[in-house]
Amino acid sequence: MFENNELPPRGDRLAGKAAIVTGAGSRERSAPGIGYAMAVLFARQGARVVVADMDEARAATTLKVIGEGGGEGSFIGADITREEDCRKLAEGCVERYGSLDILVNNAGIAGSGKVTDYEEEVWDVALDVNLRGPVMACKYAAPCMAAGGGGSIINISSIDGLLAGAYLNVPYSVAKGGLATLTKLMAVHHGRENIRVNCLAPGHVHASFTAGFADEERERRRKIGPLGTEGTAWDVAYAALYFASDEARWISGIVMPVDGGLLAATPLAVMGNLGE
Ligand SMILES: NC(=O)c1ccc[n+]([C@@H]2O[C@H](COP(=O)([O-])OP(=O)(O)OC[C@H]3O[C@@H](n4cnc5c(N)ncnc54)[C@H](O)[C@@H]3O)[C@@H](O)[C@H]2O)c1
């Protein structure tokens, strides 16, 4: 299993709700993914969770942990870049659980290079998985939510989608920036259906997505932040839990960094942290 795999405490903040988390498996084994953490936490808080992934074996780990924790979850195989799979996801959730109350667009993929390194395939994949997939998932989820009286959509962007990041991931960053903008547009267009749409922008989190980073790079990412600590998938999951719950009934259209304070700083304000 994972290094920091403690199960969060049980509660009822999502009791009676049905949720879909895309990319709810973890690509890497050395650290739990953000999708995994959200699926497990939501189930611990009483939601019935559709663990959606294009890789069944990765999803199986998540489902095993949900089951061991006494929660309810089930798998729907879906590649979010396929419209038919996105339809199947939303309809499958309603068929199984009677409603669709929460959708987390978490599945994401890197896409590197500057504009001058442009390669059609790299851009296609980055935009397909990180932006077009979430759009299609919302296309089918939103009517199901509206039919049930409303819902909460949570898009997982990145600090790299808001500002120029450290790794020259232009296709990734542009797609994640699009996801932040999509959040605001959808919050306005679907507000009267009582659908809230919010976005989380994780920062220097050590999770599955970044598990391959060398120790020195991990250390640099930790040190530069105002809090000086490393984020985990659970930090992002707890922020998502708030957006998903009725506690956030009047919060919509916001993009919230989960970054230990990093985006509050100008570069010169935190540069000294590296010399600690
Ligand atoms: N870890 C970080 O530092 C960090 C920072 C900012 C943003 N993020 C974002 O967090 C999100 C999730 O990270 P994670 O750690 O859960 O990632 P991960 O790489 O472990 O991926 C989770 C799952 O997504 C699945 N997946 C990939 N493409 C898919 C597709 N087309 N359809 C369905 N499933 C697909 C994979 O099979 C995998 O099981 C990503 O969107 C990432 O961009 C991470």
For residue 7, being part of any structural domain is answered with: no
Q: Is the pLDDT of residue 153 over 90?
A: yes
Per-residue pLDDT of 83-93, as tens digits, reads 999 999 999 99
85/82 Cα distance (integer angstroms): 5
Distance from the alpha carbon of residue 130 to the mean position of ligand 1, in angstroms: 9
For the CA of 78, the closest atom of ligand 1 is 33
Instruction: Give me the pLDDT at residue 6, please.
Output: 77
The residue among 30 and 259 whose pLDDT is bigger is: 259
* Residue with CA nearest ligand 1 atom 32: 79
For residue 10, being part of any structural domain is answered with: no
Structure tokens, 83: 């419209």
Q: Which of 156, 168, 38 is nearest to 107 (CA)?
A: 156
Task: Determine whether the shortest distance from the Cβ of 137 to ligand 1 is under 6 A.
Answer: no
For residue 192, being part of any structural domain is answered with: yes
* Residue with CA nearest ligand 1 atom 23: 23
For residue 90, being part of any structural domain is answered with: yes
Per-residue pLDDT of 177-187, as tens digits, reads 999 999 999 99
Q: Is the pLDDT of residue 124 over 60?
A: yes
Region 107-129: what's the mean pLDDT?
A: 98
For the CA of 210, the closest atom of ligand 1 is 1
Task: Determine whether the shortest distance from the Cβ of 257 to ligand 1 is under 6 A.
Answer: no
38/145 Cα distance (integer angstroms): 19
For residue 8, being part of any structural domain is answered with: no
- Given ligand 1 and candidates 27, 160, 206, which is best to mutate, with the most ligand atoms within 8 Å of its CB? 27
Indicate which CATH number applies to the domain containing 163: 3.40.50.720
For residue 108, being part of any structural domain is answered with: yes
Q: Contact, 255 vs 263, CB < 8 A? A: no
Q: How confident is the model at residue 5 (pLDDT cuts 50, 70, 90)?
A: low
Region 171-181: what's the mean pLDDT?
A: 98
Q: Is the pLDDT of residue 2 over 80?
A: no
Distance from the alpha carbon of residue 23 to the mean position of ligand 1, in angstroms: 6
Give the domain range for residue 248. 18-275
* Residue with CA nearest ligand 1 atom 40: 108
Instruction: Give me the pLDDT at residue 236, please.
Output: 98
- Beta-carbon count within 10 A of 6 CB: 7
For the CA of 26, the closest atom of ligand 1 is 20
Task: Determine whether the shortest distance from the Cβ of 34 to ligand 1 is under 6 A.
Answer: yes
Q: Which of 30, 39, 8 is nearest to 240 (CA)?
A: 39
For residue 12, being part of any structural domain is answered with: no
Give the percent of the chain with pLDDT over 90. 93
* Residue with CA nearest ligand 1 atom 15: 33
For the CA of 108, the closest atom of ligand 1 is 41
Per-residue pLDDT of 183-206, as tens digits, reads 999 999 999 999 999 999 999 999
Per-residue pLDDT of 28-87, as tens digits, reads 888 899 999 999 999 999 999 999 999 999 999 999 999 999 999 999 999 999 999 999
Indicate the burial class of 47 (C-beta count within 10 angstroms; 0-12, 13-18, 19 or more).
buried
For the CA of 128, the closest atom of ligand 1 is 31
Instruction: Give me the pLDDT at residue 30, please.
Output: 85
Q: Is the pLDDT of residue 172 over 90?
A: yes
Task: Determine whether the shortest distance from the Cβ of 55 to ligand 1 is under 6 A.
Answer: yes
Instruction: Give me the pLDDT at residue 4, please.
Output: 56
Instruction: Give me the pLDDT at residue 226, please.
Output: 98
* Residue with CA nearest ligand 1 atom 17: 209
Region 106-120: what's the mean pLDDT?
A: 97
Instruction: Give me the pLDDT at residue 1, please.
Output: 53
Task: Please name the residues in contact with 242: beta carbons below 8 A apart, sequence gap of 6 or more.
Answer: 248
Active-site pick, 118, 172, 238, 242: 172
For residue 143, being part of any structural domain is answered with: yes
Tally of residues, the chain: 276
Pairing of strands 151-156, 102-105: parallel
Query: Is 172 a residue of the active site?
Result: yes
111/116 Cα distance (integer angstroms): 14
- Count structural domains, the chain: 1
Instruction: Give me the pLDDT at residue 29, please.
Output: 81
